[in-house]
Structures are given as C-alpha cells and as structure tokens.
A and B are shown apart, each in its own frame.
Chain A
C-alpha cells in the first residue's frame, strides 16, 4: 500500500521551502491516497485462506473421497472460523458496521465490491452448513449425502469470493495497482495453494491427536513425510 499514507488526505504534510525547488513536486503523492490500511491486507490474507481451504477440501473430497473425507471434516469448521475472521475484518475496515448490510441492498455486477459482498454472503451459507454437518458427523450423526450436496453448492461462491479480491484491488486509478492485470489471477491461485498448505497442516496436527485411523493414516504418513522433508509444500 502507500508507504506515506496516514489518513485519507491528498498530501501528508505541506512541502517545506527547502523541498520546494525546481523539481519540488517530486516528493508529493501523485494521487489521493485511498483509505486502505493494514486491515485490508489481513482481509486479503484471510479471504484467501478461508476460500482456498474450502476449495482445496471440496475438490480433494470430491476427487478422492476415501483419502480426504476425514481431513475434510476438520477443514470445513476451520474454514468457517477463517471466514468469520475475514468478515469481521471487513466490517471493521468499513468503520460503520451496518454498511456491510447496506451493500446487500443492491447488486451491481460492474462493481467488484458489490460482487464480493454478495459472493461472500452466499458462500457463507453452504460453508456454515458443511461445518455444521462435519461437526454432527464427528458426534455420530452421519449425513454424508447432505454434506456432499452442500460442498458442491459452495464451490462456485467460494471461487467467486476468492476471485473478486484481486479484481477489486486493481480496478481503480491508483498508479501501479491499476496496471496489475494479473493481481486477481495471482490472489486466487495463491488462495488455492494456501488451502492445500492449510490442509497439510491440519492433517499433520490432526494425525498426531486422532491416532491411526485407517483412511487418514495413509494420508497422514504421506503428510508426515512431506512435513519432515525440507522440500516445498505443494
């Protein structure tokens, strides 16, 4: 973000007479500094972590259910917690809590922020259901088919919620940001890779406590080997 942006004022301080020489405008910010600060950086991170974890868990569970179902049941509640942190950061950054709800009164496809609020809101529903069904399964009530349905329903909103962030950050007139054509591609891809990494962490930590449950044990041993090896994660 802008290193010298304090509040939203166009100039941080008036230039002193020594700075105001021939090239005296060089030290002044070129455009009005936007109101993004650290909260938005953390929001981008948690957005990627939540949606990426859900997508990695959903794709893994649907592609190889025998291997991934046990860890997926841990993934969805964690993803829900991460999403709640992300939504909290968004509301915090708005300053005025009801404004998030106000954004849901309109749907403007031409505004990445509107697309984002709607995608996140729609995504939160299947994610909450998947987390609830996973916890219920842990307590003995196994509703596999319902969880699979809910996970499939949540895939598209998850992808949308991951994709909007980069587009939002590059659809403006700020120098540098406005030229970042692949910001969205980078953030969405990194969200998915972070999701894979989070799954790995959850398997490593879960395997240590859950004992040698058979379907997870194979994955756990592979994950253990990967945890211990010095190579890169994915």
Chain B
C-alpha cells in the first residue's frame, strides 16, 4: 500500500485504472490498424466508395463493442468513478487535439490520394506525405503516453508511425505494415485483458465485505 502525496500521479493512476487497465482501448486500436491493413483488399472487393462506407461502419462497430465491453466489465470489476472538472477538461482538450490532428492527417491523405499534395522540399524526396503522417501519429500516441504515463503507448507510437514510411520505401504488399502493427497491438491488448480478468474478479460489495 502506498501513501502517495503526489496528486498528479494519483490522478493519473485513477484515470489509468478506469480507462486503460482492461486493455480494451489497446484492442480497439489494434483492430483499427488491422482494418487499415485490410483496406487495399476491401477496396478491391467493394470499390473505393463502398469501401469507405465499409471502413466507417466497421470502425463504428469497433467503438460500439469497446464501449459495451468496457461498461460490462468496468462497473463489476474496477468499480465506478466520477472525475472532477479538471480531469474532464484535460480529457476534452486532449480529444480536441487528437481529433484536429487526425482530421489534418485524413485531409492530407485524401489530398495525396488525388495527387494534390504540395511538392515537398528536395531533401525530403517524394516522401513528404508519409513523413508528415508518421509525425502526426507519433505526436498523438506519445502525447497520450506522456500525459498518462502509459509506457506501452510510446512503443505503439513507433510501431504505427513506421508503417507509413515502411510501406513507401519497401517493396512489400500494400497494408502489410499496418496488419503487422495492428496484430502486435491486438495481442498486447488481449494479454492485458486476460491479466485484467484474473487480477480484478467481479466481486460485489456485499460479497467482498466478509474478509
């Protein structure tokens, strides 16, 4: 038992337990990148327009399943916590930054796909787009890792950021780096979820009060 008076660390520990201890966030992230890895295959199967719809539908399904699983697991095993205005504001600002950066990334992607990406400095060669997207992914993931002391997110950031240049530089199947990174993160999430289920049994307050 620790008597930690560092309130920032205590706050982070509370948030980590409530939001990241069960591994469902990792599982969702991994599945999203597997979905990105399968994007070329689904594009070939459905065509570009239907593929985008398919992508968004599966993405929505992943988010929905994650929130349902989290709700079902969380209350019985972790308990219920309400955070104060300070934490809520921080989460809102982080989400806003993530959404803004993601929008920038998607816009860049869309422009590059149509050949409208502006010419990049000579020293970057023709890989300006890949480098920009990698940097955005790295900033989002490392920002999360730093603000919540989630060390595994530093690794996830590197894994996901290298996907874009790898795909551009190496003669490999389109989507393969995303599939590999997504699979690694999904395995990590599965391990976390398994550990979580063992470490936090579903014990009701009345049942546990006899010890």
The answer to whether A and B assemble together is: no
